Every structure is written in C-alpha cells, then in structure tokens.
Amino acid sequence: MIIKIGKLKTENYIAIQKRCLSVCFLLCISFFGYAQVSPNIKTKVDTTSIKIGEQVIWTVTVDTDSTAQVIFPDGQTFSPLETVEAFATDTTRKKDRLTLIKSYALTQFDSGSYKLPTQRIEINGQGFFTDSTRIEVADVAVDTLNQKMYDIKPLINVEKSYSNWWKIALGILFALAIIGGLLYWFVIRKKPLTEEEQVALLPPYDRALLELKKLENSKYLIQDEYKKYYSELTDIVRSYLEEDAHVSALESTTDQLIDKLEMMTDAGELELDKDTIAQFKRILQTADLVKFAKSKPETSVAEQDRKSIEQIVEKTHEALPEPTEEELMELAEYQEELERKKQKKRIVIASISLGAVILLSAIGASAYFGFEYTKDTILGHPTKELLEGEWVRSSYGYPPVIMETPKVLVRQNVKLPPEAQAAVQEMQMFGYRSSIGLFTMATASTTLANPEEEPDFEKAIESCIKQFEKTGAKNIITKQEEFETLGGIKGIKVFGSGKFQASKSKELIRGKYTIIMFGGKGFQQQIVLTWLDDDVYAQEIVDRILATLEVKTEA
C-alpha cells in the first residue's frame, strides 16, 4: 500500500505518525511481556539405542518465570520403559528467570522398539506436554566360545510367601473324613452278627438244643469241673422253660419249679407225663448236690443227665400249644422294637462322637486362627465373604476413578438439586451397599459447567456430611489429611466415625467412614466408604481399596 504523503496535510501526517508509533510500542510491550511469562520446555535423551538392562538418561529443561510453580512427572509414568531413578532437580536463577533441569534414568529388560511416551509438566496449574521419543532396545550378544559355561545350579527349597492356611484346612478335613469313616464302620454301619448274637436271636427251643450240643462237646467232665457242667445244664433248661413255657424258672428252687410244672400239667396248660416231671426233678436234685454239697456223680451219669434234659426240652416243646397269630405278631413287634433301640443307640453314639470331633476341631481352629475368625468361617460373615471372594478392577465415570473392589459398582441414577444444576454439567455415580450391616462403596465423577472453575472441596465435604445426617447419622466426628495415590496424584482424605442407620433398620449403630476427593479445573472425583466400627474384615477391604486407588485427571 502506497501512501501519498505529499497530498496529506502536515498536521494529519504528524497525527498518523504518532498513532503508528503508539501501536508499535504496545506490540513491543505485549511481545516482551509474553516472552517473560511464557515457559520454554526442552527435552533430550543421551541415546536412542541401548542394550537390554542399560539405561537411557532423559532430561527435561524448563525455562520459566522465577515465581512459577513447576511439577515434574513422578512415578512409573514412562511405561513401557521402567524408571530406575529420578535425579534431583538442578535449579538456576538469572534475574527474573528460572531454569530447572530434571533427569530420569530409564531402562527396559526386553528387546524391541519402545516409545518413550509424552510427559505432562504442570506449570502454575497448566499442563504442558513434551515430545515422544523412540528408543531401540537390542539383545545382548552372548559369546559361547570365549565365555566359560557353568552347570545349572541345583534346585533349592524356598519358603513360600503366602500363608499355608489351606494346608491346615485340608488336614482338618482329612482328619474329619477319617473319623467319619471310622464312625460309620464301627457305629453306624449294620455290622454282621457275632456267633453269640446269632445264637441269641434263635427261638428258645433251637437255642436250648444248640447250647446242649455245645455242652456235650465241652471239656468240663474231662477236667473234672462237674459244678460248672451242672450249672450250665440247669441254666439251659431253666432259661428255655422261662422263655418258651412262660414259667418263672430262673429264680425258683427245685421244689418250686417242679410244683409249677405239676400245676400247669393239671391245668392242661402243659402236657407232660409224670415220669418226665419225676426225671426232671431227679436231675435238678443231682445238680443241687453237685453245686452245694460238692457231690461227684459218675461221668456216665452226667452224660445221661444231659441227654435226659435234651429229651425233656423236646417233650416240653411238643407239649406246648402252637402260638397264636397275636403271639407271633407280638414277638415280631418285640424284635423290631429291639432292633429300633439298637439303631437308636448307634445313632446316639455316632452323634455324640461326631459332636465331640466337631467341638475338638473348633477348639483347635480357634486356638490357631482365633475364635472370631473360626466363628465367622463356620457361621458366615458378609464382609468376610466379600474380602475372601473374587475382586475386580474397574474404571468408573469420567474423568475415571480406577480401583479394586470385591463387587462391581452399579451405576446409580442421580437427580441433581435445582441449586446444583447450574454449576454441574454432568455427574456419574456408581455404588454398592451390603444387604446386611453398614458396608457401602460409592464413587462419583462430576464435570463442572465452567471448565476453568476449581472444585470447592470444603463445600463438597460439607455436602457429604449433611447427606449422612439426612439418612439419620448422628455424632459425626470429622478428621482431614492429605491423600496420595500410588501414581503420585494428591487429594484430600476426610475420615472419622459416628452413629449410622443400618441397612433395612432404623437402629443407629457405631460406624466409620472415609471420603477421598480429587479434582482440577472443571472436574471433581469422589470416593465414599462406610463400614461397622468393629468389623475387621471391612477395615481390610477399605485398606485394600485405598491401596489400589488410582484416578485420571484427563482422558
């Protein structure tokens, strides 16, 4: 553009010159002012090619105003490269300028081509990003000719770092299985009858004949034991008469027993001839003499007396009337009742034995693991089951909150109050609440309507406490401290105790709570946890959640 100055008036020309000089002066001031406050960031690496295990030094230089606050990357932010060491910051001041030099030693133990990622450097709350760099990691060549080779070292036993509680539990179960098997085999199982039991279940007549046969094969007479011989002989016949003929023979004397047999014969209840009764009386009298007067009859007489008793048993059995159907039923019911009593006795013994085993096992477990842990394992405990169950690691909301929890948090429908709708653009909330007790987990990510607005933590904390009070909580004690994640992101931790209303109940119970808050320009993240005051399992859950908590301040 060509201006014909000659055509302008002198005063107009002077005015235009003044304006141009003013504009230039302002541009210069703006330019130099901007140069003073605008930071200058440079990065470099000492090498872009290393061998496995070698280190690359990454250096970032920040030139900024002397009053600026600079925050360098911290932690393992260089993945897939690993941070070996973050060196101290070298600081240089020159007039109103500040030069900061920060170096990091990085390495990688796998060969390949890796991208050293962009790093975020925060200056006065504003993020500046560095350039990414490609690092080549080469294999280490092994000279198998010059390098001496050694034999493989033998295996050594190393104590495992995890607890061996499962071995103890397996041992207890194995012992219980063995004890249960023994109880079944010796108590519950229907064992085969012994010879004595089989004899006892025979009818009186058959049992008497079998016992007389055993007496015949005994060595009493050979060993000159006549007293034992005649005692067993009379006991066999008396027991038979007691059971089969229903005569009270065991407690009766010889004369009393003979009188009862004669009376039954006269009454027609027992058809025995007088010779049989007289013969029986003679044998009983001989037995009395042997037992009480130490008489010793001939061996042939003793053998004949046994044969005579066998004939008396047979004649008595024949003389008895046939049992009626009612008597047979009574006998069957009697035998069934005896069997039921035996079975009941076996069940009682088995129950007592099993109860004793369980009691001893519980005492042993309580001594090793503690009474409360054993009780909760046997009877069950809601937060213990959560703690020992399968945990999940998930990301919730935007900006995301990442944490490990025993249950996946479920998205909650949030209705913002009218006074908050103008300040909040979006709120995403996720939560879980145990059906028993006070254990709850919740997280919320809030996007503010004004992207330049900083979150008001004090107001958010006050809002949480008021929400507790709306749900019935009382006597809330509040403490506050700084919280930092493993990734180095700092936030605020608010924690304490109080009386809270339990789930599905109006009763107030003593509980604890923890609120973690993070945030930056335009957003806020919040985690809320509540649990019973004396719930050790819930405390372990909370500690694990906070140990794995990570947040991202941007996508």
Residue 490 in 3-state DSSP? strand
CATH number, domain with residue 100: 2.60.40.740
Contact 404, 540 (CB under 8 A): no
In a domain, 172, yes or no: no
Strand runs labelled E in 169-266: none
Q: Is 525 found in the same domain as 511?
A: yes
The rounded distance, in Å, linking the Cα atoms of 231 and 238 is 11
Residue 57 has pLDDT above 90, yes or no: yes
Q: Check residues 17 and 489 and name the one with the higher pLDDT.
A: 489
Highest mean pLDDT among 17-26, 321-330, 401-410: 401-410
Q: What is the pTM of this model?
A: 0.40
In a domain, 332, yes or no: no
Dihedral sign from CA coordinates of 322, 328, 334, 335 = positive
Q: Is 87 found in the same domain as 29?
A: no
Q: Is 537 found in the same domain as 432?
A: yes
Contact 206, 310 (CB under 8 A): no
Question: Which residue, 280, 295, 321, sits at the end of a domain?
Answer: 321
Average pLDDT over residues 22-47: 57
Nearest to residue 445, comparing CAs of 431, 428, 432, 458?
A: 428
Range in 2-6, 44-48, 92-96, 359-363 with the lowest mean pLDDT: 2-6
Tally of structural domains, the chain? 4
Average pLDDT over residues 465-471: 81
The rounded distance, in Å, linking the Cα atoms of 235 and 520 is 105
Q: Is 264 found in the same domain as 134?
A: no
In a domain, 193, yes or no: no
Boundaries of domain holding 98: 40-138
Strand runs labelled E in 95-221: 97-107, 112-116, 120-123, 126-129, 133-138
Q: Is 500 found in the same domain as 393?
A: yes
Q: Each residue of 225-265: pLDDT tens digit?
A: 999 999 999 999 888 888 887 888 888 888 888 888 888 88
In a domain, 196, yes or no: no
Q: What single string gives the DSSP state of each residue in 347-408?
A: HHHHHHHHHHHHHHHHHHHHHHH-HHHHHHHHH--HHHHHHHS--EEEEETTTTEEEEESSP
Residue 320 in 3-state DSSP? coil
Confidence tier at 532 by pLDDT (50, 70, 90):
confident
Confidence tier at 371 by pLDDT (50, 70, 90):
low
What pLDDT is stored for residue 246 in this prediction? 80
Q: How many CB atoms lie within 10 A of CB 402?
A: 16
The rounded distance, in Å, linking the Cα atoms of 49 and 35 is 36
Written as six digits, the tokens of 341 are 């009593």
Q: What single string gives the DSSP state of each residue in 404-462?
A: EESSPPEEE-----HHHHTTEEEEEEEEEE-SSSS-EEEEEEEEESSTTPPP-HHHHHH
- What count of residues does the chain have? 555
Average pLDDT over residues 148-157: 62
Amino acid letter, 408: V
The rounded distance, in Å, linking the Cα atoms of 499 and 532 is 9
Q: Is 428 found in the same domain as 393?
A: yes
Written as six digits, the tokens of 296 are 């010793």
Q: How many CB atoms lie within 10 A of CB 396?
A: 22
How many CA atoms are closer than 13 Å to the CA of 352, on its beta-carbon side?
Answer: 7
Question: Which residue, 321, 347, 369, sits at the end of a domain?
Answer: 321
In a domain, 178, yes or no: no
The rounded distance, in Å, linking the Cα atoms of 441 and 427 is 17
Residue 342 in 3-state DSSP? helix
Written as six digits, the tokens of 303 are 């053998």
Cα–Cα separations (whole angstroms), residue 334 to 241, 319, 338, 467, 526? 19, 24, 6, 74, 77
Contact 81, 107 (CB under 8 A): yes
